[in-house]
Amino acid sequence: MILEILAFIIGLVYGYVKPGKEKRWELLKKGVVYGIILGLILGFIGLLIGGLVLSVATAIGTVIKMIVLTIIFIVGTFFGDLLETVVK
């Protein structure tokens, strides 16, 4: 729960500080790519430590978690943009 709140707050600050509208589709694509890369790295580490089942579970879980965190970050940027237009 703490990572989700942190992702939202960082997205809120990012949306507020960066002028103009954010390209949310680009943010989503970057988040998915980073999630896949991190999933592969952690999956490989899981393969070395615990075998194939741990490797696959770790990789899939990491990719899903990164996609969820990216979506929460994007929602935060939306509210940051909204806050930017209201305050300025």
Task: Convert the pLDDT of each residue in 7-16 to its tens digit.
Answer: 999 989 988 8
Q: What is the mean pLDDT of residues 49-65?
A: 80
E strand or H helix at 88, and its extent?
Answer: none
- The single residue listed with the structure tokens 């949306």 is 15
What's the pTM value of the predicted model, to 2 decimals? 0.81
Residue with tokens 């930017």: 84
pLDDT at 61 over 80: yes
Q: List Cα–Cα distances, 51 to 15, 41, 62, in angstroms.
A: 41, 14, 17
Where exactly are the structural domains of the chain? 2-87
Task: Give the number of other CB atoms < 10 A from CB of residue 60.
Answer: 12
